[in-house]
Structure 1
Amino acid sequence: MLHQPDIAKLLLRLSLGILILFHGIHKLIYGLNGVSAMLSAHGWPLFLSYGVYMGELIAPIFIILGLYARVASGILAFNMLTAIYLAYGFSLSTSKYGGLSWETPFLYLIMSILVILLGSGKYAVNSK
């Protein structure tokens, strides 16, 4: 019989990993110019832009597979905190639709924290 909490963990992992992976693939194809510009505007070293590949390409693959998903989700959570800070400055400004301007990266942050707290579940490469 299928264990519902483990199915929920799988669904969370797949949703988070697949959705953020699209962002990473986009940056792989089109480059890191936007990220580099934000880093430069804040006086941060440009080599940090390569961390996006870790957070948006490698970590999502690990999350999808359930391979060290807690660690990978920690990397992604740090990536999202950094993105929110660099792109939005944690301002309370809203989008034209009424939500916070940084609503999407915040949702990825929360999902990452949930994977850290809940773990991979039974349907994962390194399940326990």
Structure 2
Amino acid sequence: MFINPDIAKLLLRVSLGVLILFHGIHKVIHGIGGVKSMVVSAGLPEFFAYGVYVGELIAPIFIILGLYARVASTVLALNMFVAIYLAYGFSLTLSKFGGLAWETPLFYFIMSLLVVLLGSGKYAVNSK
């Protein structure tokens, strides 16, 4: 049986990075007005909203490339944690389909933590 943990790490990194990058590109095209309003509603300064560009544009590119993937994944995990807090407040409400309302950002948060724990593997720009 063919087992290669480094290919699994590559698949994890690329899938996570590409999926999050779509969100970042959407924010570049359509702006971050929604994020700004959530940040201000939480009592935080409006400029904090611009951190979403770091978390959803820069970090995913680094994750895809495997360039400081652990650091970039930590940034993304923090971004997802804040997104969950701002959008859902950690409420245990269910979606209309029966799942946790914030399961998608939670999934991204967990994937980010996996990259932090596992590292980028040998198929990465700065592999050892």
TM-score, normalised relative to structure 2: 0.97
Letter in 2 for 1:99: G
**Which consecutive residues of structure 1, in runs of 5 or more, have no partner in the other structure?**
none
Q: Secondary structure at the match of 1:91?
A: coil
User: Which residue does the alignment assign to 1:95?
Assistant: 95
Q: Hey, what's the Cα distance between the residues in 2 that align with 1:124 and 1:91?
A: 37
Aligned to 2:46: 46
Matches of 1:34 and 1:65, distance apart in 2: 29
Partner residue in 1 for 2:77: 77
Pairwise mapping of residues 1-128 of structure 1 onto structure 2 (< 5 A)? Answer: 4-128=4-128
**RMSD of aligned alpha carbons:** 0.9
Instruction: Tell me the alpha carbon deviations over residues 46-80 of structure 1, each in whole angstroms, 9 at most, x when there is no partner.
Output: 00011000000000000000000000000000000
Provide the rounded CA distance (Å) in 2 between the counterparts of 1:25 and 1:11.
21
Report the residue type matching 2:79 in the other structure.
N
1:3 shift after superposition: 6.3
Q: Structure 2 counterpart of 1:75, which letter?
A: V
d(CA) in 1 for partners of 2:46, 2:119: 33
Aligned residue type for 1:69:
A
- Unaligned 5+ runs, structure 2: none
Could you tell me which amino acid in structure 1 is paired with residue 91 of structure 2? S
Give SS of 1:94's match.
Answer: coil
TM-score, scaled relative to structure 1: 0.97
CA–CA separation in structure 2 for the residues paired with 1:125 and 1:3 = 22
Deviation digits for residues 21-68 of structure 1, max 9, x if unmatched? 000000010001000010111111000011000000000000000000
CA apart distance, 1:105? 0.3
